[in-house]
Structures are given as structure tokens and as C-alpha cells.
Structure 1
Amino acid sequence: MTVPTITVKRCTKCGETKGVDGFYRNRSKRDGLSTHCKECDRAFSSAYKEAHWEERCAKQRAYYEDHREELRAYNRDRRALFGEPTTERWREITAKHATRRGRWSEAEDAHLAASTDRVGDDALALSRTYASVERRIARLRRSCVALARDAHRR
């Protein structure tokens, strides 16, 4: 028996009808899609993470304590292969690719506010230097702009 192809689906959480690209895939469901839309799923996931932040930190801390030597050996091997991920190295890499100078645009500020990437990754994405991105993030924090990278600090 073949299942008819659907183009829209109703979210069981918010009740909105959305296209199938608004739902995550779930092979266990008859239509192959999750019952909740992506927006509702993200909202639930972020609320759960925020509500159980201390519990998650305690689990991570306990795991680290139990597997300290294994993790150190793994990190030693990675550093031997890829080099030391130091701030200096990021500064060198981003300085090579930095093409933008001068005033910061609203789009760049919005990117930094929404980003959870490392500073070096943001510097490469924005074609700015590591130091300039660090300074801009500090300035946004002083201006009380909510940064996604600071969500765990709230």
C-alpha cells in the first residue's frame, strides 16, 4: 500500500497548517513527518534546556570527572593532528581573510546577536578580524543587546 504524498500538515501543538518543509522528518510516523512543527519543536527544546540547565551541567561535570583521562588523551591527539586552537592562531587566520573595515552594519550586529558560533567563526563569516569581532561583542553586551551566545548566562 502506498501512502499518498502530502503537501501541507497541521501542527498538533499550535494548530497552524504549514507546508511539509515546516516539519522535521520522523520515520516512525505514517506520513514520515513529526507531529509538531519545527517552530514548536524548537520552542519546546529551548524551554526544556533552559529549565534543566543546572541538571545538564551537573551531568556534564560528572561525565568529565568519570572520563577525565580519556578526554585528555583525545584532546592531546587532536592537538597533535590539528595544532593548538589558540587565540593567536585564530587572529592569524582571520587577519588573512579580513576584507571589511570601518563601520559595523545592522546586519552584522544582528548576525553577532543571533550567533552561537565561536568568535573566530564569526570573524570569518563577517570577513572581520578576530579582535574587531571580540570588541564588537563586548560593545553589544555593554549596550544590553541580548546575545544568543550568552543564553546560558541568564
Structure 2
Amino acid sequence: MTTTDASHRAGRTRGEDREWLSTAVDLAWRCPPSPSAFNVGAVIVDADDRELARGWSRDTDETVHAEESALLRLGPDHPRLPGATIYSSLEPCSVRRSRPASCTQLIIASGIRRVVFAWREPSLLVEDCQGVEQLEAAGIEVIEFPEFAAQVQAANAHLLREQ
């Protein structure tokens, strides 16, 4: 079950989670708009509350996702990933058209044990995103802060106004 009351988890407080998630939401505004992709920001933070990497959609190529970009900056065997948290402005994708692995699969493979996000992916580009469900099935703690959703929606107005 997704935790929406993110009191004190994995040594972090609600305030610290909000600060890092706010950074991820701010990164979503750096994305070049695309008619076929969300603007998403992501930050990976180690167990000692230090930033390891950040990324945003389309920051290195036109099909890279935010979580993927941040993970690529660290490499697959980075020793701090198992204790890390990834903060994402959008629920990690469970289906990819442009790559063989979804962001959910990449997070699971990385060893990250905690995901904090702001907005569940709407059925706009993918019929039914299962990111939360897949992460939880893999034993990863998932925390949602829906109060950030409006900010993420604003960063994605290019897609939402076309509905």
C-alpha cells in the first residue's frame, strides 16, 4: 500500500522528503516540452541525505526519462544506491515505448529501496501505469505526496490542455 502519510521513514522526516521532492518538481520545468512525453524531474539522495544525482526528461537525449537519466549518472553498481531514495515528480513509468526497460524496472534493478513521488501518471499516454504496484511488489517503499500534484500538472500543461 502506498504511504501518503510520510511521517518518519528511513531516517528522513516529512520536511526533508518535501524539500527533495520540491527539487524534483522544479527540475521538471527544465524539460524541453514534447507532445508525446511528460516533463519529469528526479533526484537520487543517499541514506545520509546527500544528493547523488539528478536528471530530467530529455536532458541527454530526446527519449531519456528523468529517473533513467539520474540513474545513468551513477552507473548500475553504485555502492550507495541500496540505501538511497529516488524522488520523482511523476510516478515512475511501468511501460516504455522508446527503451527496453521502464523506469520502474531500472529502479528495482538499481537496489534503491525507497521512492517518493508527487503525481500518479494519468491515463493520457499510457493506458494504466503500474509503477507504484510494481515497486511495492518488489518490496520497495513508495510514498506519495499528492499535494505537489498541481505543480507537476502545471509543468505538463502542454499535454493536459490538449485533453
Give the TM interval when normalised to the shorter protein. Answer: under 0.3
Q: Which has the higher contact order (CA 8 A, sep 6+)?
A: 2
Structure with max Cα Rg:
1
Q: Which has the higher helix share?
A: 1
* TM, length-normalised to structure 2: 0.23
Higher fraction of strand = 2
